[in-house]
């Protein structure tokens, strides 16, 4: 399998693989693109996609720009539920171009990305806005600068809203280049989030607590412009923060707010904060 450069070409019949439910690709070291242009719509029933240890892979979905312009209104909704990408050192894009107008991935419930050292972002904004079924998102040991990239043609002053109504677990680990969730103005809502794990991602601010205040604090104590989360001020007795994170977020509050309890999520674990506190205590 090491010499395999193509699994299927762009001439694959639309119905020839339409019943395929699961694809696992592993150890194909010469494979550059998994789905060439014109093939992705042939896999609308695909539910599980796992790719591991393909050192040359650069693109998962190669979608031609403006490919959907000839068929306005004709958009394929994929059944993909699980996407797992592991040890893909050369992966640069899951979708090279915005799949909006061609494919929708609104059934994705589990996304895991680990060991992708050339990947700069995870989702296009149009994809992220459609992830209403997302339950678990895990990103580890990768080079991401943002989780969600800007779509072309978005006005600089516009504010996007990302809502993940079913997401219960978010894990971000070993992401030394991560700076923000989205590079523009945005609001993200995670009403079902129960477990948040963030470690070894020192360039990003985790949260801020007032939409009128732009200041947010990173774990290193420096000021950052764009936090991962903007948390509404809610009185609740169940917030759990590490000591270091607690001190960091207090710097974003005025004196009156410091007397209020802030509800972030039911369960919050920040490994980097815990390790730093243990080291300083020792």
pLDDT at res. 28: 93
Q: Do residue 151 and residue 226 come from a single domain? A: no
pLDDT at residue 264 is higher than 50: no
Q: Do residue 186 and residue 270 come from a single domain? A: no
Question: At residue 83, what are phi and psi to the nearest 5 degrees?
Answer: -125, 120
Confidence category of residue 118, pLDDT binned at 50, 70, 90: very high
Domain ends where: 193, 222, 240?
Answer: 193
CA distances 189 to 145, 161, 208, 250, Å, are 20, 8, 14, 22
pLDDT at residue 144 is higher than 50: yes
Domain ends where: 193, 225, 243?
Answer: 193
pLDDT at residue 178 is higher than 60: yes
Q: Which domain holds residue 22?
A: 1-193
Average pLDDT over residues 103-109: 89
Q: Are 192 and 165 in contact (CB under 8 A)?
A: yes
Q: Do residue 132 and residue 154 come from a single domain? A: yes
pLDDT at res. 275: 31
pLDDT at residue 217 is higher than 50: no
pLDDT at res. 146: 92
Residue 198 falls within a domain, yes or no?
no
Cite the DSSP H helix spans in the chain. 125-128, 243-250, 271-281
Q: Are 16 and 10 in contact (CB under 8 A)?
A: no
pLDDT at residue 276 is higher than 70: no
Confidence category of residue 47, pLDDT binned at 50, 70, 90: very high
| CA–CA gap between residue 42 and residue 176 (Å, rounded) | 37
Q: Do residue 52 and residue 14 come from a single domain? A: yes
Say how many domains are in the chain. 2
**How is the chain split among helix, strand and coil, in percent rounded to 5?**
10, 30, 60
Q: Do residue 150 and residue 275 come from a single domain? A: no
CATH number at residue 85: 3.80.10
Residue 213 falls within a domain, yes or no?
yes
Most confident of 27-31, 66-70, 235-239: 27-31
pLDDT at res. 40: 76
DSSP class of residue 180 equals B
CA distances 119 to 9, 252, 253, Å, are 24, 31, 35
Domain ends where: 174, 193, 212?
Answer: 193
- The 10 Å Cβ neighbour count of residue 180 is 20
Cβ-based neighbours of 56, under 8 Å, separated by 6 or more: 29, 30, 31, 32, 90
Q: Do residue 47 and residue 83 come from a single domain? A: yes
Residue 199 falls within a domain, yes or no?
no
Dihedral sign of CA atoms 93, 49, 192, 242 in order? negative
Q: Do residue 155 and residue 72 come from a single domain? A: yes
User: Which residue has better confidence, 100 or 6?
Assistant: 6
Residue 59 falls within a domain, yes or no?
yes
Q: Are 166 and 130 in contact (CB under 8 A)?
A: no
Average pLDDT over residues 9-24: 74
Q: Do residue 111 and residue 156 come from a single domain? A: yes
Lowest mean pLDDT among 28-37, 80-89, 95-104, 143-152: 95-104
Classified as helix, coil or strand, 118 is coil
Q: Do residue 244 and residue 177 come from a single domain? A: no
User: Which residue has better confidence, 131 or 223?
Assistant: 131
- Residue 151's nearest CA partner among 116, 186, 113 is 186
Q: Do residue 181 and residue 253 come from a single domain? A: no
Q: Which residue has the tokens 């200041």?
A: 215
Supply 168's token pair. Answer: 């219960």
Long-range contact pairs involving 209-216 (C-beta distance under 8 Å, separation at least 24): 209/233, 209/249, 209/252, 209/253, 209/257, 209/262, 210/252, 210/253, 210/257, 213/252, 215/251, 215/252, 216/252
pLDDT at res. 257: 44
Q: Do residue 162 and residue 225 come from a single domain? A: no
Average pLDDT over residues 238-248: 48
Q: Do residue 252 and residue 231 come from a single domain? A: yes
Q: Which residue has the tokens 């193509």?
A: 6
């Amino acid at each position: 399998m090491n010499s395999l450069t193509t699994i299927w070409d762009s001439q694959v019949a639309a119905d020839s693989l339409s019943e395929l439910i699961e694809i696992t690709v592993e150890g194909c070291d010469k494979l550059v693109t998994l789905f060439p242009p014109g093939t992705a719509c042939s896999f609308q029933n695909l539910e599980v996609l796992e790719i591991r240890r393909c050192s040359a892979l650069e693109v998962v979905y190669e979608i031609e720009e403006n490919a959907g312009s000839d068929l306005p209104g004709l958009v394929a909704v994929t059944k993909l539920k699980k996407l797992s990408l592991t040890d893909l050192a050369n992966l640069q894009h899951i979708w090279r171009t915005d799949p909006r107008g061609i494919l929708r991935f609104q059934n994705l419930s589990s996304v895991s990305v680990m060991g992708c050292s050339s990947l700069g972002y995870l989702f296009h904004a149009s994809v992220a806005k459609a992830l209403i079924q997302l339950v678990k998102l895990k990103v580890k040991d990768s080079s991401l600068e943002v989780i969600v990239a800007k779509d072309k043609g978005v006005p600089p002053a516009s504010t996007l809203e990302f809502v993940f109504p079913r997401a219960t677990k978010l894990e971000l680990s070993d992401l030394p280049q991560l700076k923000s969730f989205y590079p523009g103005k945005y609001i993200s809502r995670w009403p079902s989030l129960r477990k948040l794990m963030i470690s070894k991602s020192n360039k990003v601010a985790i949260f801020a607590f007032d939409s009128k205040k732009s200041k947010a604090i990173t774990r290193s104590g420096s000021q950052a412009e764009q936090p991962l989360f903007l948390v509404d001020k809610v009185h609740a007795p169940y917030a759990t923060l590490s000591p270091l994170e607690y001190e960091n977020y207090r710097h974003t509050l005025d004196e009156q707010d410091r007397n209020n309890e802030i509800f972030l999520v039911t369960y919050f674990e920040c490994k980097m904060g815990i390790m730093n506190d243990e080291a300083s205590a020792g």
